[in-house]
Amino acid sequence: MNQFPEAGQVIVEDGFLKHYMEIVAHCALPYQWQMLNGELGENPTMRNFRIATGDEQGAFGGVPYQDTDLAKWLDAVGCALGNERNPELEALADAAIDTIVRAQDADGYLDTYYQLVCPDRKWTDPESHELYCFGHMIEAGVSYSEGTGKRALLEAACRLADHVGRVFGPAEGKLHGYRGHEIIEMALVRLAAHTGEACYLRLAEWFVHARHDTPEAFYRGERKEGNPLDYGSWGWGDPERETSSYEHVTGHAVRAMYLYSGMADVARLMGDEKLLAHCTALFTGLTRRQMYITGGIGATSVLEAFTYPYDLPNDTLYAETCASVGLCFFAQRMALAERDSCYADAVERCIFNLLPAAVAQDGEHYFYVNPLQVNAEACLKSPLKTHVKPERQPWFDCACCPPNLARFFASLPRYLYAYSAKGVTVHQYAPSAARFQMDGGSMTVRQSTGYPFDGVVQIAVEQEVSFRQELALRIPDWCESWALCDVWGDPMNVRPEKGYLNVEIYGSCAFTLTLDMTPRLMQANRRVREDAGLAALQRGPVVYCVEQADNGELLENLSVKARSPIRIEMRNDVKGFGPYPAMRLRGETDATEPRTELYFPCAQRRDTEITAVPYCLWGERTVGEMLVWLRRT
Amino acid sequence: MNQFPEAGQVIVEDGFLKHYMEIVAHCALPYQWQMLNGELGENPTMRNFRIATGDEQGAFGGVPYQDTDLAKWLDAVGCALGNERNPELEALADAAIDTIVRAQDADGYLDTYYQLVCPDRKWTDPESHELYCFGHMIEAGVSYSEGTGKRALLEAACRLADHVGRVFGPAEGKLHGYRGHEIIEMALVRLAAHTGEACYLRLAEWFVHARHDTPEAFYRGERKEGNPLDYGSWGWGDPERETSSYEHVTGHAVRAMYLYSGMADVARLMGDEKLLAHCTALFTGLTRRQMYITGGIGATSVLEAFTYPYDLPNDTLYAETCASVGLCFFAQRMALAERDSCYADAVERCIFNLLPAAVAQDGEHYFYVNPLQVNAEACLKSPLKTHVKPERQPWFDCACCPPNLARFFASLPRYLYAYSAKGVTVHQYAPSAARFQMDGGSMTVRQSTGYPFDGVVQIAVEQEVSFRQELALRIPDWCESWALCDVWGDPMNVRPEKGYLNVEIYGSCAFTLTLDMTPRLMQANRRVREDAGLAALQRGPVVYCVEQADNGELLENLSVKARSPIRIEMRNDVKGFGPYPAMRLRGETDATEPRTELYFPCAQRRDTEITAVPYCLWGERTVGEMLVWLRRT
HEC string for A466-489: CCCEEEEEECCCCCCCEEEEECCC
CB B123 within 8 A of CB B133: no
User: Residue A608 phi/psi, 5° resolution?
Assistant: -150, 170
CB B62 within 8 A of CB B397: no
Q: In Å, how far are A598, B296, B422, B605 from B300, measured between CA atoms?
A: 19, 11, 43, 34
Asked if A559's CB is within 8 angstroms of B375's CB, the reply is: no
Nearest to B300 among A384, A526, A535 (CB): A384
DSSP B182-229: --HHHHHHHHHHHH--HHHHHHHHHHHHHHHH-HHHHHTT---TT-TT
Residue A215 is predicted with a pLDDT of 62
Asked if B595's CB is within 8 angstroms of A557's CB, the reply is: no
Residues of B in contact with A533 (CB under 8 A): 556-557, 559, 590, 631
User: Residue B565 phi/psi, 5° resolution?
Assistant: -65, 145
Query: Over the range A597-632, which residues count as b (16 or more CB within 10 Å of their CB) and which as e?
Result: ebbbebeebeebebbbbbbbbbbbbebbbbbbbbbb
Residue B225 is predicted with a pLDDT of 37
pLDDT at B507 over 90: no
Nearest to A529 among B300, B556, B600 (CB): B556
CB B540 within 8 A of CB B522: no
- The residues that bridge with A570 in the sheet, in sequence order, are A581
Residue B131 is predicted with a pLDDT of 96
**Is A218 strand, coil or helix?**
helix
Q: In Å, how far are A620, B329, B351, B492 from B424, measured between CA atoms?
A: 62, 20, 21, 18
- Between chain A and chain B, the number of residue pairs with CB atoms below 8 A apart is 154
DSSP B265-315: HHHHHHT-HHHHHHHHHHHHHHHHHSB-TTS-B--BTGGGB--STT---SS
pLDDT digits over A233-260, tens only? 444 443 333 333 455 777 889 998 999 9
Pair type for strands A605-614 and A630-632? unpaired
Residue A503 CB-half CA count within 13 A: 28
Residue B247 is predicted with a pLDDT of 59
- The residues that bridge with A471 in the sheet, in sequence order, are A424, A503
Residues of B in contact with A528 (CB under 8 A): 598
Amino acid at B342: C
| Catalytic site residue from B279, B400, B401, B479 | B400
Q: In Å, how far are A73, A153, A458 from A46, measured between CA atoms?
A: 11, 16, 46
Q: What is the mean pLDDT of residues B24-33?
A: 98
What is the residue-averaged pLDDT of chain B?
Answer: 92
Residue B577 is predicted with a pLDDT of 98
B593 vs B414: CA distance, rounded Å: 54
Q: In Å, how far are A479, A535, B502 from A302, measured between CA atoms?
A: 36, 27, 56
ipTM exceeding 0.90? yes
> Sheet holding B10-12: strands in order across?
B10-12, B432-438, B441-449, B456-463, B509-515, B482-486
Interface test with chain B among A602, A604, A608, A625, by most B beta carbons within 10 Å: A602
pLDDT at B469 over 80: yes
B562 vs B546: CA distance, rounded Å: 16
B567 vs A565: CA distance, rounded Å: 36
**Is B423 strand, coil or helix?**
strand
* Among B417, B437, B419, residue whose Cα is nearest residue B427: B417
Amino acid at B110: L
Asked if A303's CB is within 8 angstroms of B599's CB, the reply is: no
Residue B217 is predicted with a pLDDT of 62
Residue A223 is predicted with a pLDDT of 40
Rounded to a whole number of angstroms, the distance from the CA of B133 to the nearest CA of chain A is 30
Nearest to B590 among A291, A526, A592 (CB): A526
Query: Which residues, other chains included, contact A391 with Cβ-Cβ below 8 Å and sequence gap of 6+?
Result: A365, A619, A623
Asked if B300's CB is within 8 angstroms of A592's CB, the reply is: no
Interface test with chain A among B348, B529, B561, by most A beta carbons within 10 Å: B529
A548 vs A552: CA distance, rounded Å: 4
pLDDT at B482 over 80: yes
Asked if A480's CB is within 8 angstroms of B599's CB, the reply is: no
pLDDT digits over B566-608, tens only? 999 999 999 999 999 999 999 999 988 888 999 999 999 999 9
B128 vs A267: CA distance, rounded Å: 59
Residue B86 is predicted with a pLDDT of 97
Interface test with chain A among B379, B602, B604, B633, by most A beta carbons within 10 Å: B602
Residue B390 is predicted with a pLDDT of 97
A279 vs A257: CA distance, rounded Å: 11
Residue A422 is predicted with a pLDDT of 86
* Among B356, B233, B249, residue whose Cα is nearest residue B294: B356
Residues of B in contact with A372 (CB under 8 A): none
Residues of A in contact with B633 (CB under 8 A): 633
Rounded to a whole number of angstroms, the distance from the CA of B256 to the nearest CA of chain A is 18
Which parts of chain A have pLDDT scores under 50? Answer: 219-245
Residue B185 is predicted with a pLDDT of 96
pLDDT digits over B227-271, tens only? 333 334 444 443 333 333 455 777 889 998 999 999 999 999 999
pLDDT digits over B188-221, tens only? 999 999 999 999 999 999 999 887 776 666 554 4
Residues of A in contact with B522 (CB under 8 A): 599-602
Asked if A384's CB is within 8 angstroms of B316's CB, the reply is: yes
Asked if A307's CB is within 8 angstroms of B383's CB, the reply is: yes
Residue A303 is predicted with a pLDDT of 85
Q: Determine whether B182 is an active site residue.
A: no
A515 vs A542: CA distance, rounded Å: 13
Nearest to B557 among A302, A305, A533 (CB): A533
SS3 track for A122-173: CCCCCCCCHHHHHHHHHHHHHHHHHHHCCCHHHHHHHHHHHHHHHHECCCCC
Interface test with chain B among A294, A592, A598, by most B beta carbons within 10 Å: A598
Nearest to B599 among A381, A522, A594 (CB): A522
DSSP A528-562: -GGGTTEEEEEETTEEEEEEHHHH-S-GGG-EE-T
Residue A126 is predicted with a pLDDT of 78
Residue of A nearest to B312 (CA): A382
| Catalytic site residue from A304, A320, A530, A620 | A304
- The residues that bridge with B515 in the sheet, in sequence order, are B482
Distance of CA B598 to the CA centre of its chain: 43
Residue B437 is predicted with a pLDDT of 87
Residue of B nearest to A590 (CA): B526
The percentage of residues in chain B with a pLDDT greater than 90, rounded to a whole number, is: 84
Preceding peptide of A452 cis, ω within 30°: yes
Rounded to a whole number of angstroms, the distance from the CA of B447 to the nearest CA of chain A is 28
Determine the longest span between alpha carbons in chain B, in angstroms.
78
Asked if B559's CB is within 8 angstroms of A533's CB, the reply is: yes
Residues of A in contact with B480 (CB under 8 A): 601
Nearest to A632 among B311, B529, B602 (CB): B602
Residue A214 is predicted with a pLDDT of 67
| Catalytic site residue from A79, A133, A328, A400 | A400
Nearest to A383 among B302, B525, B532 (CB): B302
Rounded to a whole number of angstroms, the distance from the CA of B516 to the nearest CA of chain A is 14
Nearest to B524 among A522, A530, A598 (CB): A598
CB B336 within 8 A of CB B418: yes
| Rg from Cα positions in chain A | 24
Q: In Å, how far are B344, B424, B480 from B471, measured between CA atoms?
A: 16, 5, 21
Asked if A533's CB is within 8 angstroms of B556's CB, the reply is: yes
SS3 track for A385-411: CCCCCCCCECCCCCCCHHHHHHHHHHC
Rounded to a whole number of angstroms, the distance from the CA of A522 to the nearest CA of chain B is 4
Helix B341-349 vs helix B273-289: crossing angle, to nearest 10: 40
pLDDT at B50 over 70: yes
A301 vs A307: CA distance, rounded Å: 10
Q: How many degrees, rounded to 5, is the angle at CA A588 between CA A584 and CA A592?
A: 135
Q: Determine whether B342 is an active site residue.
A: no
pLDDT digits over B343-357, tens only? 999 999 999 999 999
